[in-house]
């Protein structure tokens, strides 16, 4: 998500309902393997169920799979720069033990 979110930044996620998500929000969503933070390009509603078309800010194309409402964890409300570096450093050093 560079340049808006950088390595070492901690993103603060606020839990929201799907109908509270707006275009250009950065949302957090769960896939089978990971949590992803991407920007909302399009919101689709059908039968009161929402899906989101997303894209990483540093990616050239939108994501292949739409984000389903059940995958939504929340949206980024602010970031704390550099706060995540100690965690990154500890993870790296743990790998060398």
Per the prediction, the chain carries an average pLDDT of: 88
Is residue 96 scored above 60 in pLDDT?
Answer: no
Contact (CB, 8 A) for 75 and 21: yes
* Host H or E run for residue 84: none
Percentage of the chain beyond pLDDT 90 is 67
**Tokens coding 20:** 């509270």
Look at residue 10 in the predicted model and tell me its pLDDT. Answer: 86
Is residue 40 scored above 90 in pLDDT?
Answer: yes
Is residue 69 scored above 70 in pLDDT?
Answer: yes
In the CATH scheme, what architecture does the domain 10-94 have?
Answer: Roll (2.30)
Look at residue 44 in the predicted model and tell me its pLDDT. Answer: 97
The rounded distance, in Å, linking the Cα atoms of 59 and 48 is 30
Bridge partners of 76?
13
User: Has this prediction a pTM greater than 0.95?
Assistant: no
Candidates 91, 47, 90; CA nearest to 69 is: 47
């Amino acid at each position: 998500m560079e340049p808006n979110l950088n390595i070492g930044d901690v993103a603060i996620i606020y839990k929201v309902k799907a109908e509270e998500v707006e275009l250009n929000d950065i949302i957090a969503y769960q896939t089978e393997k990971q949590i992803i933070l991407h920007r909302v390009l399009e919101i689709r509603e059908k039968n009161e169920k929402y899906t989101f078309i997303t894209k990483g800010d540093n990616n050239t194309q939108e994501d292949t799979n739409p984000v389903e409402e059940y995958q939504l964890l929340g949206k980024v409300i602010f970031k704390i720069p550099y706060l995540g570096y100690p965690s990154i450093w500890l993870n790296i050093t743990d790998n060398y033990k």
